[in-house]
Amino acid sequence: MRTDPLIRAWAVLIALSVAATAVALMRPAGPRWLVIAAGAAILGLAWGKARVILGRYLELDAHPGPRRAFGAVLGLWALAALALYVAAG
């Protein structure tokens, strides 16, 4: 039995949300690099969720050029957010 691609995308989004929540609930209080790594992991998971939404729900999987462009912009945004997170700490 084949599963609908939107159902699979939804399952991936749920899994990524659970992973991000688990990282956030760990609240690492160790060295600074560990706190930054946790923040980077959460941003990476959010970037992955955005890619799933763009690819499946907005149907950009059929258009690799725009999908890469949106992914690059989202990646730059995530790096900027990480830079602000590190600077604020």
| pLDDT tens by residue, 7-62 | 999 999 999 999 999 999 997 778 888 888 999 999 999 999 999 999 999 999 99
Contact 43, 82 (CB under 8 A): yes
Mean predicted confidence (pLDDT) in 58-82: 92
Per-domain boundaries in the chain: 5-88
Cβ–Cβ < 8 Å for 2, 53: no
- CB neighbour burial string for 33-46, b if at least 16 within 10 angstroms, e if fewer: eebeebbbbbbbbb
pLDDT-derived band at 1, boundaries 50, 70, 90:
low
Q: Using the predicted structure, report yes or no on whether residue 82 has a pLDDT greater than 70.
A: yes
Quote the CA–CA distance of 10 and 83 in Å, as a whole number.
Answer: 30
Alpha helix (H) ranges present in 27-63? 32-52
- Tokens representing residue 8 in the block: 């699979």
Supply the pLDDT for residue 53. 94
pTM of the model: 0.85
